[in-house]
Amino acid sequence: MDKKVVNRISEILEPTEEQKERMFCNILYKHKNDTTKEGGISPIKRFKPALVAAAMAICLVTTTAFAAAYMGLDINFLNFLKPSSEEQVEYLANGAYVVDKQVKNKNGTLDIKQVIGDSNVTLILMDFIAPKGIVLNKAHYNFKDINIDFGYGFAGYGIISLEDENINDNKISLVMRVKTNDTLTGQKLRLKLTDLGSSDTWPGELTTVLSGEWKASFNLDFKNYSTDYQTNQAVKMFGYDATIKTVSISPISIALKLESSFVEQISQAAGNWEVLGENEYSDVYPITINYKDGTSEITNIFNGMSHLSIGDILLIKTFENVINDKEIESLTFFATEIKIAH
């Protein structure tokens, strides 16, 4: 193998000793399973060091995305986030925290796999495995009751069903998105999920598929992706004075924290969300993201959370795919431009 390629792999991935061990074990495990299926004999004793090194090198150079799955970012997270470049894949992988906790009862296993997040949004990747013989092939799955406890603060949360690669098996992948007023990194989350339900469409009324309760507590030791900017810029919202105190930007969300003596008036002036389509509503507090290349996008469709309290406004914008946060030049909010200095 070309020496420059090997050096580049090392520069990009910089695996720790623990990561190297996990990669090695994953490769051995896959090789063992594949060979056992074919011949029924475990090959570990015959696996020469040179072959192990070659297998690891091939895995690493195939794609950065594939390598990221071994380095701490699950392939289902990659498919969900849809990063725009190899650099962004690496950045996201470096911030992921591996939970690897399974909760079982007679009606299924909840496998809590990984967590990523920023100043205001936490994403939890989970698999649910039903007992053998039960096929999970509906368009949407969710739990009929969700309880989370992370200490102080408020939260909005929901579960997203990921695209199922095999609709005829007993496994589904889910992402739980938690939106909070402050980052959850370093906190412990206590989670209780009750009664798995399904629907043919989203939104749709859930029908219980498997009853039961799945409880788990785990640390949220992910790396905060956000860069926080102290702005203190004045803005007029529907003619009322407010101050943009901070802006937090990451690949997975943009959050604005504002202060105003006219929060109630602003809320009334904003009115109700307009229904744009199935499960789509207008964003009454839109922002325009202006990129360095001259392009822009506006959050006309509401995704995220708006929390208004006495004197304070928190606006969190989430996106279908991760955004290229390093290429943002400015944000425009109610005709006020917020310059972003990288």
For the chain, counts of helices (H) and of strands (E): 7, 19
Residues 131-161: tens digit of each pLDDT: 999 999 999 999 999 999 998 888 999 999 9
Q: What rounded mean pLDDT belongs to the chain?
A: 83
pLDDT computed for residue 165 by the predictor? 86
Q: What is d(CA 314, CA 254) in angstroms, rounded to the nearest whole number?
A: 11
Residues 8-53: tens digit of each pLDDT: 334 444 454 444 444 444 444 334 333 333 333 233 333 344 444 4
Task: CATH 2.60.40 in the chain: give the residue spans.
Answer: 96-219, 227-339
| Confidence label for 64 from pLDDT (cuts 50, 70 and 90) | very low
Which of 201, 197, 193, 200 lies closest to 210 in space, CA to CA? Answer: 197
pLDDT computed for residue 10 by the predictor? 42
Other CB atoms within 10 Å distance of the CB of residue 120: 29
148 CB-near residues (< 8 Å, 6+ apart): 155, 157, 178, 189, 190, 191, 192
CATH of region 227-339, choose from 3.20.20, 2.60.40, 1.20.120, 2.40.50:
2.60.40
Q: Do residues 313 and 321 touch, judged by C-beta distance below 8 A?
A: no
pLDDT computed for residue 332 by the predictor? 98
Residues 181-232: tens digit of each pLDDT: 999 999 999 999 999 999 988 777 899 999 999 999 999 999 999 999 999 9
pLDDT computed for residue 72 by the predictor? 63
**265 φ, ψ to 5°?**
-65, -40
The CATH number assigned to the domain with range 96-219 reads: 2.60.40
pLDDT computed for residue 278 by the predictor? 66
Residues 241-293: tens digit of each pLDDT: 999 999 999 999 999 999 999 999 999 999 887 877 667 789 999 999 999 99
- Does pLDDT of 327 surpass 80? yes
260 CB-near residues (< 8 Å, 6+ apart): 237, 240, 241, 242, 243, 266, 311, 312, 313
Using a CB cutoff of 8 Å and minimum separation of 24, what contacts does 206-212 make?
206/142, 206/144, 208/144, 209/130, 209/134, 209/136, 209/138, 209/141, 210/107, 210/108, 210/130, 210/134, 211/107, 212/105, 212/106, 212/107, 212/108
pTM for the model stands at: 0.80
Q: What is d(CA 113, CA 100) in angstroms, rounded to the nearest whole number?
A: 5
